[in-house]
Copies of this chain bind each other. A is one copy, B any other.
C-alpha cells in the first residue's frame, strides 16, 4: 500500500506520467495544502505571486490536465463554476448558499444501485447545499 499523501507534487506528476513543469508543480502544491476549493481565478491570484510569468490560461490548462490525470478533483458550485480540490479519495461537499464556502464531508461511496447495472461508473459525487454552521 502506497502512502500517497507523503508524495510531493513533483512525484505525483511523474507517477501520473505527465511532464513536470513549474506551473504544474506550483498549482498542485497549492491545491494540496489549500482547503478552500478555489476556482481557476483564485488559484491564479494565489500562485502568480510565486510564478511571475503565470497566465490565467495556464491555470485553466493545468487544472484540466491535473483533473484528467486524477491528481485533483473538480467540483461544480451551485452557480456552475468549477472549483478544484487537492484532497485524494471520495468525499462529499457542502456548499453554503450564504457565504459560498465549500467544505468536505466524509461519506461512504455506496453506488450499489439497480439503475447503474451495466453502467461503467467513473465518478460518484455527493453534495449538500444550505447554510453552513458559521452562517446559521
Closest CB in chain B relative to A1 CB, distance in Å: 26
Q: Give A103 to B118 CA distance when docked, in angstroms.
A: 13
Of A8-16, A30-38, A45-53, A120-128, the one with at least 4 CB within 8 A of chain B: A120-128
Q: Are B115 and A123 in contact (CB under 8 A)?
A: no
Residue of B nearest to A98 (CB): B120
- Is the Cβ of B136 less than 8 Å from the Cβ of A129? no
**Cβ contact of A81, chosen from B80, B103, B118, B120, cutoff 8 A:** B80
- The A contact surface, by secondary structure, is strand
Which bracket fits the contact residues of A?
Answer: 35 or more
In contact, A120 and B115 (Cβ under 8 angstroms): no
A104 within 8 A of partner (CB): yes
Is the pair B106, A114 in contact by a Cβ cutoff of 8 Å? yes
Instruction: Please indicate the chain B residues that have their CB under 8 angstroms from the CB of A76 in the complex.
Output: 76, 78, 80
With A106-B114, A106-B115 given, can you name 16 additional A-B contacts, CB distance below 8 Å? A80-B82, A92-B113, A94-B116, A94-B119, A94-B121, A104-B115, A105-B113, A111-B128, A116-B128, A118-B133, A119-B130, A119-B132, A119-B136, A120-B130, A123-B128, A126-B126
Which A residues fall within an 8 A CB radius of B? 76, 78, 80-82, 92, 94, 96-97, 103-107, 111, 113-133, 136
- What are 10 of the A-B contact pairs (CB < 8 Å)? A92-B113, A94-B119, A106-B113, A106-B114, A118-B133, A120-B136, A122-B129, A124-B126, A124-B127, A125-B125
